[in-house]
């Protein structure tokens, strides 16, 4: 069964090498990784600001947070696609972490 993320991944792949004049995704890919990373960063900041507003906000503030989170996920998937990765690898990592304390998981990461 196909999931929404699978469908989005397929759509992103089909548009990657499209015409940048008619495809936002093609335009991002053609402008390169740095532009894609800029968009991920921009959406992350907008998500953070929307979350701050949603904490004590009304339904419209909470809906804005949902919209910004969707934008962040979308651009994150474009980033993964550009790097030859997909959402399955992220979901596999989340599955691997199931049942592991967040503190234990963080402690098991290599130090930088």
What is the C-alpha R_g of the chain?
16
Residue-averaged pLDDT of the chain: 92
Longest dimension (CA), the chain: 47
Phi then psi for residue 111, to 5 deg, are -80, 150
User: For residue 47, with 0-12 CB atoms within 10 Å meaning exposed, 13-18 middle and 19 or more buried, which class applies?
Assistant: buried
Tens digits of residue pLDDT in 92-104: 999 998 988 778 7
Q: What is the mean pLDDT of residues 7-17?
A: 95
pLDDT at 1: 42
Tens digits of residue pLDDT in 39-69: 999 999 999 999 999 999 899 999 999 999 9
Domains of the chain: 34-108 (1.10.287)
Tokens at 88, concatenated: 């399955």
How far is Cα 19 from Cα 40, in angstroms, rounded to an integer? 22
How far is Cα 20 from Cα 28, in angstroms, rounded to an integer? 8
pLDDT band at 112 (very low <50, low <70, confident <90, very high): low
pTM, full prediction: 0.86
pLDDT at 100: 80
């Amino acid at each position: 069964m196909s999931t929404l993320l699978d469908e989005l991944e397929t759509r992103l792949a089909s548009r990657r090498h499209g015409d940048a004049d008619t495809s936002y995704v093609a335009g991002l890919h053609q402008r390169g990784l740095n532009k894609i990373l800029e968009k991920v960063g921009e959406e992350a900041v907008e998500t953070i600001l929307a979350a701050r507003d949603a904490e004590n906000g009304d339904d419209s503030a909470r809906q804005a947070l949902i919209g910004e989170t969707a934008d962040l996920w979308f651009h994150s998937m474009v980033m993964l696609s550009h790097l030859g990765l997909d959402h399955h690898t992220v979901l596999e990592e989340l599955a691997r972490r199931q049942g592991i304390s967040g503190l234990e998981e963080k402690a098991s990461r290599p130090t930088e």
